[in-house]
């Protein structure tokens, strides 16, 4: 099985500070999202990813996908890679690592993917 692309929280936050542009997608459940999201993240519960493949295919930016700890996001990246979509990156450690590193959370969830 091919490896998925991953990025560390530290590297991702540094790239964001340097104004690198990404689509950021939180694939946790709505109840989890209510606890806070990475700023500017869109939301899409994991089980809906197969219904939104056109969004991933049409995306012009790299897409960073995260969940609570990185396991579900890794599964989502593998699934998308199997569909021929390779512009996706797993945020290693998920939002637990993000918030544990002292990085900011937004309490208002971003838009859902259309």
Catalytic residues: 67
Euclidean distance between CA atoms 49 and 36, whole angstroms: 21
CA–CA gap between residue 99 and residue 114 (Å, rounded): 27
| C-beta neighbour count of 64 within 10 angstroms | 24
- Where does residue 24 rank: exposed (0-12), middle (13-18), buried (19+ CB within 10 A)? buried
| CA 81/CA 14 separation, integer angstroms | 25
């Amino acid at each position: 099985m091919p490896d998925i692309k991953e990025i560390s929280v530290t590297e991702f936050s540094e790239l964001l500070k340097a104004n690198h542009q990404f689509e950021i997608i939180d694939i946790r459940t709505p109840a989890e999202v209510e606890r806070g999201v990475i700023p500017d993240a869109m939301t899409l519960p994991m089980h809906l990813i197969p219904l939104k493949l056109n969004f991933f295919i049409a995306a012009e930016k790299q897409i960073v996908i995260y969940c609570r700890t990185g396991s579900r996001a890794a599964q989502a990246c593998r699934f998308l890679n199997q569909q021929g979509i390779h512009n996706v990156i797993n945020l290693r450690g998920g939002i637990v690592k993000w918030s544990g590193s002292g990085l900011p959370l937004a309490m208002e969830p971003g838009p859902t993917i259309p």
